[in-house]
């Protein structure tokens, strides 16, 4: 069987995503994530918040924490997959290998659309301006890269195998547009074209597409909605098609869902749930973050989200509580997923700092 995990880096929610999901009989989920790529993917692949493994969470320059820490080695999904005989394939994902997995011994299969191949991607990653331009401009070279991506999709899906294969794929287009503050419409057009290029009816396969955060140019120290943590996921399960998915999920839920589907024997995290089953309308969704201009090595903002208004099982309005440790201040936000109306409010008794302190020990005033 095949499991396709596809990261659309930095791609904000818009209604067009729900339109695609509906047209292709896919499941759309509003998702609460963390607010930068490392923390979001960390939670995706462990089912835990960073502070549940590392005492103070981590910041943009905390890569050394992810290198051969015993507790980390026992937590990441890749280690469990390798033990169970899965083949792991990374596409456009040198970053996953170097930062998230971060081991001397790697046993992964690699592919990339990066000009010059894997060695060039490993040396420069996707931050070179000339490479970013290929993902946000309409030139012969840009279209050639787009066609290369489509060929990889076809290649992945046409391969017949008796093995269990886990693909982790990253599309960097919107991240490039955000970094350069231009051509967001072209980046989104390319991303949607790639999304439409997959055959989501492939037998014996599961699809999980998601965003790690929105446009990072608009993410502040409070994780103010919508770009910080209000993201999305789209799923399709062609192995257990009768399962009913939830419409509001946490990025932690990927791990719990995968674990339950494939019967991986790992202790559950009480903050994570499978995406299948009855929607818990009283659930509190937790997140944490650190802006690089505030602290490079530990989390500085923690928060929680609850859904304050539902239309049957579809979330309509969210309440968000954010606590910033350096400022020692809290903020409340109300955000409507339908109208996109954002309002800062004074207080809500649905979520308080006491909820945060139970999860994030470093938010307590006595814990300096």
Model confidence pLDDT, tens digit, residues 309-362: 999 999 999 999 999 999 999 999 999 999 999 999 999 999 999 999 999 999
For residue 22, the model assigns a pLDDT of 97
At the topology level, CATH places domain 2-277 in: Alkaline Phosphatase, subunit A (3.40.720)
> Which is nearest to 235 in space by CA: 195, 267, 189, 197?
195
Domain ranges of the chain: 2-277
Task: Characterise 181 by phi-psi region: left (phi > 0), alpha (psi -120 to 50), beta (else).
Answer: left
Tens of pLDDT, residue by residue over 67-126, are 656 666 678 899 889 889 999 999 999 999 888 887 766 679 999 999 999 999 988 889
Please state, rounded to an integer, the average pLDDT across all residues of the chain. 93
pLDDT, tens digit, 9 for 90 and up, residues 167-186: 999 999 999 999 999 999 99
Percent of the chain having pLDDT more than 90?
Answer: 80
Count of other CB atoms within 10 angstroms of residue 182: 14
Pull the structure tokens for residue 139: 């030139």
Q: How far apart are CA 344 and CA 243, in angstroms?
A: 37
Q: What is the pTM of this model?
A: 0.96
Q: How far apart are CA 309 and CA 203, in angstroms?
A: 37
pLDDT at residue 243 is higher than 90: no
Which structure tokens are listed for 291? Answer: 């802006």
Q: Which residue has the higher pLDDT, 124 or 226?
A: 226
What's the confidence (pLDDT) of residue 73?
67
């Amino acid at each position: 069987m095949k499991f396709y995990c596809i990261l659309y880096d930095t791609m904000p929610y818009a209604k067009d995503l729900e339109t695609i999901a509906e047209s292709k009989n896919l499941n759309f989920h509003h998702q609460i994530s963390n607010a930068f790529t490392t923390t979001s993917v960390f939670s995706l692949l462990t089912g835990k918040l960073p502070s549940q493994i590392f005492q103070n969470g981590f910041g943009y320059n905390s890569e050394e924490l992810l290198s051969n820490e015993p507790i980390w080695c026992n937590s990441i999904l890749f280690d469990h997959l390798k033990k169970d005989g899965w083949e792991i394939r990374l596409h456009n994902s040198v970053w996953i290998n170097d930062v998230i997995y971060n081991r001397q011994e790697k046993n992964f299969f690699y592919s990339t659309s990066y000009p010059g191949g894997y060695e060039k991607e490993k040396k420069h990653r996707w931050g070179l301006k000339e490479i970013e331009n290929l993902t946000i401009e309409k030139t012969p070279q840009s279209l050639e890269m787009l066609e290369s991506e489509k060929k990889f999709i076809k290649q992945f899906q046409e391969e017949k195998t008796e093995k269990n294969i886990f693909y982790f794929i990253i599309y960097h287009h919107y991240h490039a547009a955000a970094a350069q503050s231009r051509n967001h419409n072209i980046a989104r057009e390319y991303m949607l074209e790639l999304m439409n290029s997959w055959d989501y009816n492939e037998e014996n396969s599961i699809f999980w597409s998601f965003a790690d955060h929105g446009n990072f140019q608009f993410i502040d120290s409070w994780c103010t909605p919508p770009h910080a943590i209000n993201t999305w996921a789209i799923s399709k399960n062609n192995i257990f098609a009768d399962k009913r998915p939830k419409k509001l999920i946490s990025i932690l839920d990927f791990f719990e869902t995968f674990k339950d589907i494939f019967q991986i024997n790992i202790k559950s995290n009480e903050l994570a749930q499978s995406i299948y089953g009855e929607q818990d309308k009283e659930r509190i969704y937790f997140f944490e973050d650190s802006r690089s201009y505030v602290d490079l090595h530990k989390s500085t903002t923690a928060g929680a989200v609850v859904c304050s208004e539902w239309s049957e099982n579809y979330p309509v309005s969210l309440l968000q509580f954010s606590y910033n440790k350096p400022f020692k201040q809290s903020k409340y936000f109300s955000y409507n997923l339908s109208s996109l109306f954002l309002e800062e409010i004074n207080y809500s008794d649905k979520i308080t700092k006491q909820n945060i302190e139970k999860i994030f020990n470093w938010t307590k005033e006595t814990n300096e």
